[in-house]
């Protein structure tokens, strides 16, 4: 996938240009000679490309430090305001739209509520209007620096054509969101599942920066995962790789909302726990805090299955870290307490102690930052 950019002249498309930009992003601070030795590209070529990146305002020089052989080396960094990304986070009842810098800082954000029963076309119109109003508040110079629009959504999305295949909670099916917004706005648009967006955001700007083989396990009103191998997101044939919420863990288990029995998410996600206990998840949480037997039991069971899910993930993908994200993890910190030991007890012996469990770093803006990380990931590839 290539991105047509405003900087799209002569050498901009060249592989080396994006390779160096990617390395500068990844290392945060790096010198020209370090870039040359990492890439085996000659010092002269690195010098030329770096000059171009500085002219394109994508990177900046930020002082000097002692080099390997005692010579002072100039340090390069991404220029956070060299370009902007519009990030759109579509969640249950709320849509957040923000413009975000190249280092993942949210400059300006607006939220609006919508009703999941509203037709998708109506909601897409509201998104287009929201983006237009956000862009019209930017200076002309800043608006010209917008790379693309990234959209994060909890559902199945086709890739790269960005069609929403299904969002069970919204009853949206086959919505060509990318095509529609591209036509309405004239920007490039990238759309993907919110768990992938979360993993990319933490990998680019948060707690997962150092891991190139990583999995994000997300537990909210459903369960999903995203998988990164050697810095590449895995998508599978239908861009649904990682939909582990509907893996059968107990063929005689509880009925899942997908119509099957004993899916992983029947043990873990808030909507299934609410269904089984006939109480809201907040009530379950209070009852757990008060030590009520039934609540301690159901959360204890969730934790056992979380340990199992992690040990299965480790066997399947051999990641060096698993990011644990989503509202259930935030609401029930007990789920992650000693979870490393539990998962290690359950995992196949040769893989014991081969992985870290990591919590997210980005916080409340993770949805819009994740949406913009989708764009940046494609741009840097
Ligand atoms: Zn299911």
Residue 117 class from Cβ within 10 Å (0-12 exposed, 13-18 middle, 19+ buried)? exposed
Closest CA relative to residue 76, chosen from 39, 96, 47, 105: 47
Q: Which domains does the chain have, with CATH numbers?
A: 5-78 (1.10.10.10), 84-199+366-380 (3.30.420.40), 209-360 (3.30.420.40)
Q: Where are the beta strands (DSSP E) in 20-169?
A: 30-31, 59-66, 72-78, 84-91, 94-101, 106-113, 146-153, 156-157, 164-167
Asked if residues 211 and 203 have their Cβ atoms less than 8 Å apart, the reply is yes
Cα–ligand 1 centroid distance for 255 (angstroms)? 8
Cα–ligand 1 centroid distance for 349 (angstroms)? 29
Residue 2's pLDDT is: 46
- Sheet with 172-175, edge to edge strand ranges: 156-157, 164-167, 172-175
- The whole-model pTM stands at 0.90
CA distances 251 to 256, 261, 300, 374, Å, are 11, 6, 20, 36
Distance CA 36, CA 30 (A): 10
Cα–ligand 1 centroid distance for 269 (angstroms)? 11
Residue 15's pLDDT is: 80
Radius of gyration of the chain (CA): 22
The per-residue pLDDT of the chain, averaged, comes to 92
Cα–ligand 1 centroid distance for 308 (angstroms)? 17
Residue 1's pLDDT is: 43
Pairing of strands 94-101, 84-91: antiparallel
Q: How confident is the model over 70-121, as pLDDT tens digits?
A: 678 899 999 999 999 999 999 888 999 999 999 999 999 999 998 888 888 8
Which residues are placed with Cβ below 5 angstroms of ligand 1, an ion? 246, 256, 258, 260, 263
Cα–ligand 1 centroid distance for 245 (angstroms)? 7
Residue 12's pLDDT is: 44
Q: How confident is the model over 196-231, as pLDDT tens digits?
A: 999 999 999 999 999 999 999 999 999 999 999 999
Residue 64's pLDDT is: 86
Q: How confident is the model over 294-323, as pLDDT tens digits?
A: 999 999 999 999 999 999 999 999 999 999
Band of residue 167 on the pLDDT scale cut at 50, 70, 90 = confident
Cα–ligand 1 centroid distance for 67 (angstroms)? 56
Q: How confident is the model over 249-302, as pLDDT tens digits?
A: 999 999 998 999 999 999 999 999 999 999 999 999 999 999 999 999 999 999
């Amino acid at each position: 996938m290539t991105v047509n950019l405003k900087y799209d002249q002569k050498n901009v498309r060249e592989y080396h240009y994006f390779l160096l930009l990617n390395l500068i992003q990844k290392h945060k601070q790096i010198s020209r000679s370090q870039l040359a030795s990492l890439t085996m590209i000659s010092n002269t070529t690195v010098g030329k490309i770096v000059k171009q990146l500085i002219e394109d305002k994508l990177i900046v020089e930020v002082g000097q430090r002692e080099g390997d052989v005692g010579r002072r080396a100039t340090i390069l960094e991404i220029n956070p305001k060299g370009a902007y990304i519009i990030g759109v986070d579509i969640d249950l009842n709320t849509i957040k739209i923000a413009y975000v810098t190249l280092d993942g800082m949210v400059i300006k954000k607006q939220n609006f509520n919508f009703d999941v029963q509203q037709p998708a076309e109506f909601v897409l119109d509201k998104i287009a209007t929201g983006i237009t109003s956000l862009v019209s508040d930017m200076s002309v110079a800043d608006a010209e620096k917008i790379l693309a629009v990234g959209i994060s959504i909890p559902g199945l999305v086709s890739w790269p054509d960005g069609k929403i295949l299904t969002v069970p909670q919204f009853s949206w099916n086959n919505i060509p969101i990318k095509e529609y917004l591209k036509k309405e706005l004239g920007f490039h648009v990238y759309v993907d599942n919110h768990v992938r967006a979360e993993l990319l955001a933490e990998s680019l700007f948060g707690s997962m920066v150092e891991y190139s083989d990583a999995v994000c396990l997300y537990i909210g009103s459903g369960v999903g995962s995203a998988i990164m191998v050697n810095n590449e997101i895995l998508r599978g044939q239908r861009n649904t790789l990682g939909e582990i919420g509907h893996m059968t863990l107990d063929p005689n288990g509880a009925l899942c909302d997908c119509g099957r029995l004993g899916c992983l998410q029947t043990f873990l996600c808030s909507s299934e726990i609410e269904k089984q206990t006939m109480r809201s998840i907040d009530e379950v949480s209070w009852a757990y805090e008060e030590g009520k037997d039934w609540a301690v039991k159901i959360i204890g069971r969730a934790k056992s299955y979380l340990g199992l899910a992690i040990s299965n993930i480790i066997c399947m993908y051999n990641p060096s870290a698993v990011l644990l994200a989503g509202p259930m993890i935030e609401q029930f910190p007990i789920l992650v307490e000693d979870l490393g030991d539990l998962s290690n007890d359950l995992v196949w012996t040769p893989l014991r102690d081969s992985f870290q469990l990591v919590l997210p770093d980005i916080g409340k803006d993770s949805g819009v930052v994740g949406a913009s990380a989708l764009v940046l990931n494609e741009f840097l590839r």
